[in-house]
Amino acid sequence: MFDLSTAQMEIQLVAIVVAVACALVGVFLVLRQMAMMSDAITHSILPGIVVAFFIVQDLSSPFLIIGAAATGVLTVSLVELLERTRLVREDAAIGIVFPALFSIGVILIARFARGIHLDLDVVLLGEIAFVPFNRTEIFGIDLGPTALVMMSVILLINLIFILLFYKELKLATFDTGLAAALGFSPALIHYGLMSLVSVTAVGAFDAVGAILVVALIVGPPAIAYLLTDQLRLMLVYSAGIGVVVAVLGYWMARMLDASIAGSMASMVGIIFVVAYLLAPQRGLVASYLRRRRQRWEFAGIMLAIHLFNHEGLPSAEQENRVEHLQDHLNWNPDFADRAVRWAERNRIIVRRNSHLFLTEEGREQAREAIVR
């Protein structure tokens, strides 16, 4: 099974390149809270593809990409146009524009594209398994699958755009006002980014289908967002997660003999759930543990302050007995017992014949807590 044929290698390579290209632009979509725009664009590029296909009659022509990218930008402009009338809100505008464009695409296919190789299923669901059959040659030299060549170019464009405009993108993403004040045009960055998303979506749809593109654009950045606070790291992590999704998704599909695109999307879900539960700082488990630790830390400090207040006084004899904590700190016996044991373990107190005494460190902590 792990004896890789060239075709398998190529499919995985395409998947990896697609995933990384999507993840890179996706980071900015997620951060700019425009993730649903990817959904809109991936659907509404359909009529662009169809019309361009009617003109050039070739599914792998670069004109298809240009046509579809133009439709993508058109979608963004239409949404903004609708929004600017202030008659509908952004979410509703998106919800109106892309189904309309998608419908036009479907009807065009149904009416004029019968019997030619432009299948709705392929557009929506993609068929990455066919990728190796469609190859690009220049002067008789096989450059590899067309999808691989095309996506590599798109990945390169994305990389160059992000590296070149990193500062501008960062500023426009996190502080639009400042970016505008400094003379960067937020609109230019916005449309630049949207064009990239469109181009990436078009390049990728052929291999993985419109809906998986959404998973690849939004999934890895969302997962990376759970793992880091730094834009630079988020880009790197997203790309890395994209690679993992591509490879694991492919093998999952092989083992289950299921749709590759679907498996990759499912893999995004699985990795997201893992990150959601286990992310070092923001994961569910980590924050549960942190809350629990804080609870005992707080209890320990309370105990230390209590003992400190009575230390050296006649009342200490009475006050610093374990049983007394129930009355004084309003702790139930079980909690008091566990808090005392936690404090003992952390060397805040020591216990001598059911009396509690502060250690030097405990005294220090109590003193600090009071001052604070």
Partner 1 sequence: MFPDFLTDIYSDYTIRNITLGAMVLGLVSGSLGTFAVLRRQSLLGDSISHAVLPGIILAFMLTGSRDPLILILGAAIVGWLATLSIMAIVNTTRIKQDASLALVLSVFFGFGMVLMTFVQRQPDAAAAGLQRFLFGQAAAIIWDDVRTMLLIGGAAMAVFLLFWKEFKLVVFDRAFAFSLGMPVRRFDVLLTTLLVIAIVIGLQTVGVILMSAMVVAPAAAARQWTDRLGLVTTLAGLFGALAGVTGALISAYAARMPTGPTIVLCLTAIVLFSLVLAPNRGILWAWVRQHRQSRELRSRVVLADLYWLSQQHAGDDSGHSIATLEAMSAGRVAVDHGLEDLEQAGLAERTDEETWTITERGREQAIRDLAEEEREGSDV
Which residue ranges make up the site for partner 1 (CB under 8 A)?
30, 33-36, 38-39, 43, 82, 85, 87-89, 91-92, 94-96, 99-100, 102-104, 106-107, 110-111, 114, 120-121, 124-125, 211-212, 214-215, 217-219, 221-222, 225-226, 253, 256-259, 261-266, 268-269, 272, 276, 282, 284
What stretch of H or E contains 194? helix 186-208
* Nearest distance in Å: CB 68, partner 1: 17
Of the candidates 157, 173, 210, the residue with the CA atom closest to the CA atom of residue 29: 173
Shortest spacing between CB 253 and partner 1, in angstroms? 8
Residue 92 or 289: which CB sits closer to partner 1? Answer: 92
60 by Cβ neighbours in 10 Å (0-12 / 13-18 / 19+) ranks as middle
248 Cβ partners below 8 Å, 6+ apart? 267, 271
Question: Could you tell me what percentage of the chain is helix, strand and coil, using 3-state DSSP and rounding each to the nearest 5?
Answer: 80, 5, 15
**Closest by alpha carbon to 303, among 345, 241, 255, 271?**
345
Is residue 43 a contact partner of residue 99, using CB atoms and an 8 Å limit? yes
We find the least distance from the C-beta atom of residue 27 to partner 1, in angstroms, to be 11
Computed from CA positions of residues 140, 142, 148, 153, in that sequence, does the dihedral angle turn out positive or negative? Answer: negative
- Cβ proximity to partner 1, 146 vs 263, nearer residue: 263
Q: Nearest distance from residue 118's CB to partner 1, in Å?
A: 14
Closest to partner 1 by CB, 62 vs 269, is 269
Question: How far is residue 338's CA from residue 344's CA, in Å, rounded to a whole number?
Answer: 10
C-beta closer to partner 1: residue 16 or 299: 16
Minimum Å gap between C-beta 78 and partner 1 is 11
Supply the minimum distance, in Å, between the C-beta of residue 266 and partner 1. 5
Complex with partner 1: residue 276 or 335, whichever CB lies closer: 276
Nearer to partner 1, 63 or 112 (CB): 112
Looking at residue 287, its amino acid is S
What residue has token string 């133009």? 70
Residue 111's closest CA among 51, 62, 31?
51
Nearer to partner 1, 59 or 106 (CB): 106
Instruction: Output 251 or 335, the one with its CB closest to partner 1.
Output: 251
- If we measure between CA atoms, which residue out of 174, 266, 284, 280 comes closest to residue 237? 280
C-alpha span between 114 and 54 (Å, rounded): 12
Report the nearest approach of partner 1 to the CB of residue 269 (Å): 4
Contact 146, 86 (CB under 8 A): no
Nearest to 49 by CA among 133, 155, 117, 123: 123
The distance of closest approach from Cβ of residue 360 to partner 1 in the complex, given in angstroms and rounded to an integer, is 41
